[in-house]
Structure 1
Amino acid sequence: MDPATLADRRRRRLLIATIAGGIVLLLLVGVGIYGLLRGPAPRTDTTPADSPSSTVTAPPIGPSREGPVAVPQVGGPEAFARAVAGALFTWDTTTGHRPSDYAQMLADVAADEEAAALGGDVRAYLPTVEAWGQLRPYQTRQWLTIDQVVVPDAWETAVAQAAPAQIPEGTVAYTIDGTRHRDGTWGTEPVEASRPVSFTVFAVCTPPVPGRGSPGLCELLRLSQLDNPLR
């Protein structure tokens, strides 16, 4: 392996690890905003909506029922972040797939050095196997609508104040604000519920190489804790 490439990977691994522990960026940015990469506690909700009081009787809405969809790695970093967000929140208990099948779509685009830690991040967003089994009789499905995708100020500040080569070239962070939707059936009635969500996607992208047929590829590094993004 090229020594420069190996050095970049080591720097990136160190960067993400220290973000997770809340040390380096605490010093760089000057505010205590991290510990963010631990991932949210596993969700234990077992109804198609957040609570009976938040449901409304309505025809099911949302995307067509389908199984896991591959995450495209081309198109640039923002397009990649949007695709990751869609894969993270879109699932359907009626397709015969399991949470691990949806998680695999994100594992397939993970950067090698962060794959194990990313797996924990992704699992924290998905229902447990037990919750999945309880959701299936309600024909529950979930999807995300995105309101905005921005590079957070905290990340820009960190990049500006980082030492040379501390943050490897191509490393990016996008904070996504959107609405999580669920629908299904409660008894014989269709129900639907939604709530706002926010999170940050960390990725590394290589630029396209004109004339060489290389479109540039993105890999997923980590995910922030749900509803505790960088701002």
Structure 2
Amino acid sequence: MIVSGVILLALVAVGGYGLLSGTDSEMAPVHRDPAPSSTASPRPETPSRPQVPRILPTSNPETFARRVAAALFTWDTGAGLMPLDYTSAILDVGDPSGTEQAGLAADIATYLPSREAWVQLRQYATTQYLTIDNIAVPDAWSEAVAQAQPGQLPPGAIAYTIDGVRHRDGIWNDVPQVLTAPVAFTVFLACPPDGDPCYLLRLSQLGSPLR
């Protein structure tokens, strides 16, 4: 288990998530097939389910950390998806051994609105994205590696601390609103030395990065 020791101290998976004062609306148009005859009733076609953008595989650790960060913060409450859909997309690039999946799922939950908050945000057409100001391996990471027990960290493990700005847009009383807030967090990942794609281990608590 690599959730113990110094890494565990950096990975606090509890906390809340700030919400916009108002939230979003969703339109789900229904497409209909042409009537086969003038006497037949039109039959509604089941709308295809929207797809969450995948995190593309890469063996470059910094590129992977940037893609994970974008996936954590980029969402649209009017796209016909729910928070669990975005969570699943991130878990798809999690630890392939499954060791860290439960902890990672708990980490992700602190970055996304709850289902109830999502429904409220949907009334205001709320969307969100992240701009990254700085990304770097924190100084404390070398100490963490030095203190780790043999086998505690997988080959190619590394951490990136990201500082950026969260942008959240919505419509309040028919007036577009924009809310921005600085964010900081650490992405813990591993990129196997054999060139296989990087995978996600854990996330720090939002606002409590490793420095």
TM-score normalised over the length of structure 1: 0.73
Is the radius of gyration larger for structure 1 or structure 2?
2
Matched residue SS, 1:144: strand
- On the 8 A contact 2:168/2:179 being kept in 1, the answer is yes
What corresponds to 2:82 in structure 1? Answer: 98
User: In structure 1, which of residues 181, 190, 214 is the aligned counterpart of residue 167 of structure 2?
Assistant: 181
What corresponds to 2:93 in structure 1? Answer: 109
Moved more, 199-208 or 127-136: 199-208
> Which stretches in structure 1 are left out of the alignment for 5+ residues?
1-12, 22-33, 50-65, 209-214
Higher-helix-fraction structure: 1
- On the 8 A contact 2:20/2:179 being kept in 1, the answer is no
Cα distance, 1:163–1:188 mapped onto 2, change above 3 Å? closer
Matched, 1:69 2:53: yes
Amino acid at match of 2:208: N
Query: Percentage identity across aligned positions?
Result: 48
1:59-88 Cα deviation digits (max 9, x unpaired): xxxxxxx85211122141111111000000
- On the 8 A contact 1:48/1:192 being kept in 2, the answer is no
Rounded to whole Å, the distance in 2 between the matches of 1:194 and 1:67 is 26
Rounded to whole Å, the distance in 2 between the matches of 1:104 and 1:163 is 31
- On the 8 A contact 2:133/2:164 being kept in 1, the answer is yes
User: In structure 2, which of residues 140, 144, 155 is the aligned counterpart of residue 169 of structure 1?
Assistant: 155
Moved more, 153-162 or 40-49: 40-49
Matched, 1:132 2:106: no
- On the 8 A contact 1:76/1:216 being kept in 2, the answer is no
Moved over 2 A (4+): 15-21, 42-49, 157-169
> Which stretches in structure 2 are left out of the alignment for 5+ residues?
24-49
Matched residue SS, 1:80: helix
Matched, 1:118 2:104: yes
Rounded to whole Å, the distance in 1 between the matches of 2:178 and 2:146 is 44
- On the 8 A contact 1:39/1:124 being kept in 2, the answer is yes
Matched, 1:86 2:70: yes
What corresponds to 1:225 in structure 2? Answer: 205
Rounded to whole Å, the distance in 1 between the matches of 2:148 and 2:4 is 15
Matches within 5 A, 1:4-15: 13=1, 15=2
How many residues were matched structurally? 183
Matched residue SS, 1:38: coil
Query: Deviation at 1:161?
Result: 5.0
Rounded to whole Å, the distance in 1 between the matches of 2:160 and 2:104 is 16
Measured on the aligned residues, the alpha-carbon RMSD in Å equals 2.0
